[in-house]
Amino acid sequence: MHYFSYKGRDFFCEETKVCSIAQKFGTPLYVYSKRTIFRHFHKIKEAFASINPLICYSVKANSNLSILNTLVREGAGLDIVSGGELFRAKKVNCPPQRVVYASVGKTDEEIKDAIKYGILLFNVESLGELAQINKIAGQLSENVDVTLRINPDIEPKTHKYITTGRKETKFGMDINTARKVFLKRGDFRFLKIRGVHIHIGSQITQSSPFIKAIKKVKGLIDDIKKEGINLKYFNIGGGLGIVYDKEKPQTAKVFADRVLPLLKAISLKTILEPGRFIVGNAGILITKVLYVKDTPSKKFIIVDAGMNDLLRPSLYEAYHRIVPLDRKPKTKDRRPKKADVVGPICESGDFLGKGRKLDVEKGDYLAVLGAGAYGFSMSSNYNSRRLTGEVLVDADKVYCIRERQNYSDLISKECIVT
Amino acid sequence: MHYFSYKGRDFFCEETKVCSIAQKFGTPLYVYSKRTIFRHFHKIKEAFASINPLICYSVKANSNLSILNTLVREGAGLDIVSGGELFRAKKVNCPPQRVVYASVGKTDEEIKDAIKYGILLFNVESLGELAQINKIAGQLSENVDVTLRINPDIEPKTHKYITTGRKETKFGMDINTARKVFLKRGDFRFLKIRGVHIHIGSQITQSSPFIKAIKKVKGLIDDIKKEGINLKYFNIGGGLGIVYDKEKPQTAKVFADRVLPLLKAISLKTILEPGRFIVGNAGILITKVLYVKDTPSKKFIIVDAGMNDLLRPSLYEAYHRIVPLDRKPKTKDRRPKKADVVGPICESGDFLGKGRKLDVEKGDYLAVLGAGAYGFSMSSNYNSRRLTGEVLVDADKVYCIRERQNYSDLISKECIVT
């Protein structure tokens, strides 16, 4: 449930008319609803209240400092994947003991910075990484907590690019390798292996892949416990799906009800890493219609937002609902033809939606829904376009949380060699 | 032909050992060869010398100011697609009469800026845009030259995302619409319709789609001339393919030999818009091996460059050759297994190459070839990663033409709302 809806003809974010935001801040623009972010975070918190998990928001979904700050002030931890995300965690003063760090490619510099900040733990993805963190911990004379990321070889039924728990993917260790590591844990003097981590993918709408993965890993955990090894954490990652189109994803409550018995039986501190679930439907991308082009073959609605602003349709063939900010009354005269909603970028991959019935003309505004996760965070300067602004709506107040780039920003790191 | 090659074990860019660049500037890093850029530009210039065309380099392929400057000083014009690219054209003092502007989504602001700069012409993509440019020209009391972009409905046999001359794409006008516009040209008081433009796609390796498109448009041009309408320009766009893998693209010479007879018969000033052809093989992305991960299912070479640095493999499933900067001698002991070369980003779509035989270990450097076009220009901050640096090699000299971002740059436009 999110707080974007029509009141009469006008599309609102909470108590704010989105059209007035477009007029004040210009387009394209990302607009987020603070109340929706709160709501989704607390939905998860309440659903899992009986085991009091550490909920680490997945920064990569949407890394704007104001959003991180909002969540951290509510008690969230942060799931980071790079030195840049660690930098952001520091900027919002996230308590280090609420930061967990996953990534198959952590550099020495990033590992050092994270150890120095005193993060809770590293989710380790390979033997090489384990050795490297041990080495750096030794150099810094620190003892470092880690969990092993297990690749449970589970098909999560989502897009191949966001499937991360199949054995053919680069993520984690197979169960046998992990078992050997636990038995040889003495080889890593400066590490304490405190648990296991799984993250099987993103935008998963059913609980069964999670259940399967947890059950698989439970066997490993049981074996390790029998060896007398003391574990503390079980990190089940993120990946909860949301509604983009006609999906009927499980609610946080239904998901929790299904996995809680398993988690209680495992009896370790649970870590959750939701990202899309919290911010996905808490953000929209607003855009202006530049031209309506009706060709003999097809109709196009050309808007001022492109694939550089929202890559998901192009990269994942992802569906996003697109609605007008001003919903015109239906009459017999107004029978919109199906149209492709496309951006100004010079390639055919630049589209936001295909075959949409929208009653719009030049100058009208549209909202691309479900753009809060992997929207701005994947945006680029392709075609020398400026990164958009971002605003956060709190009831009837609108805060600029990122200024739009200007042209000078595009070249601020460049110099002309003659 | 490009100036990247081995001398003994070491990979060189012109007279510079690339490994020394990696050590000095760090990785990931884009490295460009100035001599290669020159060579490709002059190949086209010489091939078409008999008709003295205006060669407008397609800025979107690689928009670094030093590269634009290099080409403009050699006499190139610029093919731009946005206000940001216009800003770049001004920064390198490109004579306005060498700038042409295409894009299906030109905003009022962009149109105004371009008219004020006095660009040669707009390539107009729709009736709506024609009316809009006419209106703005009127407001500014200017007469503006335009060409009509024709969508010739030709299959260029390339990736669907970079196919731009099929009728189902958003680009240009069909021939009949264009014909009507020419006959009704008096409706656009402030415009002079000076010719036609086609651009059927990118990375096209054969001349036949070009020939077909030119022949189709020649019919229109002939008809228009019969009406006594005075045309000046025929812009045949860009799209010449290069070698990424085993392609055998036509050379500039072969292409010119095939199209010149047609262009001479049409007898208008030809405009060419090469981008990839000039810079594609003039750039490489260098990256360091962070971990070599051998799992029971697959081997992975994890490097410090990801899909945020080079999106083409993920977005277009594009092939790029990947070679080590230090080519180790082959021995019986060293039999590299096939491995996927993947980046540090947290999704399975983050790969640079699949199933490559590479004899490398942690700390070694790799070069991703053919990364000069649509490499840096499509890069992003995804996963809060910093945009890479770019260097230009001129024989044995190396110039930094873009500094790597630092972490503060990531948040320079953000603010924390509490």
Residues in chain A within 8 Å Cβ distance of B415:
65-66, 400-402
Confidence of residue B312 (pLDDT cuts 50, 70, 90): very high
Average pLDDT for B325-332: 88
pLDDT in the model for residue A326: 97
Average pLDDT for A106-130: 98
pLDDT in the model for residue B66: 98
Average pLDDT for B337-357: 96
pLDDT at B290 over 90: yes
Q: Name the residue in chain A with its Cα closest to that of B165.
A: A348
- Write out pLDDT tens, residues A138-197: 999 999 999 999 999 998 888 888 888 899 999 999 999 999 999 999 999 999 999 999
- Write out pLDDT tens, residues A269-318: 999 999 999 999 999 999 999 999 999 889 999 999 999 999 999 999 99
Q: For chains A and B, count residue pairs whose Cβ atoms are closer than 8 Å.
A: 306
pLDDT in the model for residue A414: 98
Q: Which of B172, B159, B154, B107 is nearest to B133 (CA)?
A: B107
CA distance A361 to chain B (A): 11
Residues in chain A within 8 Å Cβ distance of B347:
161-162, 164, 202
Q: What is chain A's length?
A: 418
pLDDT at B411 over 90: yes
Q: Which residue has the tokens 């448009």?
A: B217
- Write out pLDDT tens, residues B201-256: 999 999 999 999 999 999 999 999 999 999 999 999 999 999 999 999 999 999 99
Consecutive H or E run containing B191: strand B191-197
User: For residue B195, what are the β-bridge partners?
Assistant: B147, B233
Q: Which of A300, A63, A301 is nearest to B168 (CA)?
A: A300
Which of A290, A374, A379, A386 best probes binding to B when mutated, by most B CB atoms within 10 angstroms? A290
- Write out pLDDT tens, residues B148-172: 999 999 988 888 888 888 999 999 9
The verdict on ipTM greater than 0.90 is yes
pLDDT at A40 over 90: yes
* Rounded (5°) CA angle A167-A170-A174: 45
Q: Name the residue in chain A with its Cα closest to that of B153.
A: A297
pLDDT at A357 over 80: yes
The CA distance from A368 to A287, in Å, is 8
Of A87, A290, A382, the CB nearest to B377: A382
The distance in angstroms from the start CA to the end CA of chain B is: 56
DSSP A57-107: EEGGG---HHHHHHHHHTT-EEEE-SHHHHHHHHHTT--GGGEEEE-TT--
The distance in angstroms from the start CA to the end CA of chain A is: 56
Confidence of residue B336 (pLDDT cuts 50, 70, 90): confident
Average pLDDT for B75-103: 98
pLDDT at A336 over 90: no
- Contact of B131 with chain A, judged by CB distance below 8 Å, is answered with no
Confidence of residue A359 (pLDDT cuts 50, 70, 90): very high
CB atoms within 10 A of CB B364: 19
Contact B119, B165 (CB under 8 A): no
Confidence of residue A77 (pLDDT cuts 50, 70, 90): very high
pLDDT in the model for residue A331: 80
Average pLDDT for A257-275: 97
Q: Which is more confident, B296 or B341?
A: B341
User: Parallel, antiparallel, or unpaired: how do β-strands A77-80 and A54-58 relate?
Assistant: parallel
pLDDT at A387 over 80: yes
pLDDT in the model for residue B332: 77
The CA distance from A197 to A233, in Å, is 8
pLDDT at A334 over 80: no
- Contact of B406 with chain A, judged by CB distance below 8 Å, is answered with no
For chain A, what percent of residues have pLDDT higher than 90?
A: 92
pLDDT in the model for residue B158: 86
- Write out pLDDT tens, residues A208-256: 999 999 999 999 999 999 999 999 999 999 999 999 999 999 999 999 9
Q: Write the CB contacts of A332 (distance below 8 Å, at least 6 apart in sequence).
A: none
Q: Write the CB contacts of B19 (distance below 8 Å, at least 6 apart in sequence).
A: B10, B11, B325, B326, B365
DSSP B110-169: HHHHHHHHT-SEEEE-SHHHHHHHHHHHHHTT--EEEEEEB-------S-GGGB-SSTTS
Domains of chain B from N-terminus onward: 4-31+280-410 (2.40.37.10), 95-274 (3.20.20.10)
Mean pLDDT of chain A: 96
Residues in chain A within 8 Å Cβ distance of B134:
none
Q: Write the CB contacts of B88 (distance below 8 Å, at least 6 apart in sequence).
A: A384, A410, A411, B59, B63, B65, B68, B78, B80
CB atoms within 10 A of CB A161: 17
| Exposure of A283 in the CB half-sphere (CA atoms within 13 A) | 26
Contact A16, A3 (CB under 8 A): no
Average pLDDT for A394-415: 98
Confidence of residue B418 (pLDDT cuts 50, 70, 90): confident
Consecutive H or E run containing A41: helix A34-47
| Residue environment code for A276-298, b if the CB has 16+ CB neighbours within 10 A, otherwise e | bbbbbbbbbbbbbbbbbbebeeb
Average pLDDT for B117-133: 97
Helix ranges, A74-189 (H): 83-91, 108-117, 127-139, 175-183
Does A411 sit within 8 Å of B65, measured CB to CB? yes
Which of B348, B352, B378, B408 best probes binding to A when mutated, by most A CB atoms within 10 angstroms? B348
> Mapping DSSP to helix (H, G, I), strand (E, B) and coil, where does residue A12 land?
strand
pLDDT in the model for residue A136: 98
The CA distance from B164 to B199, in Å, is 7
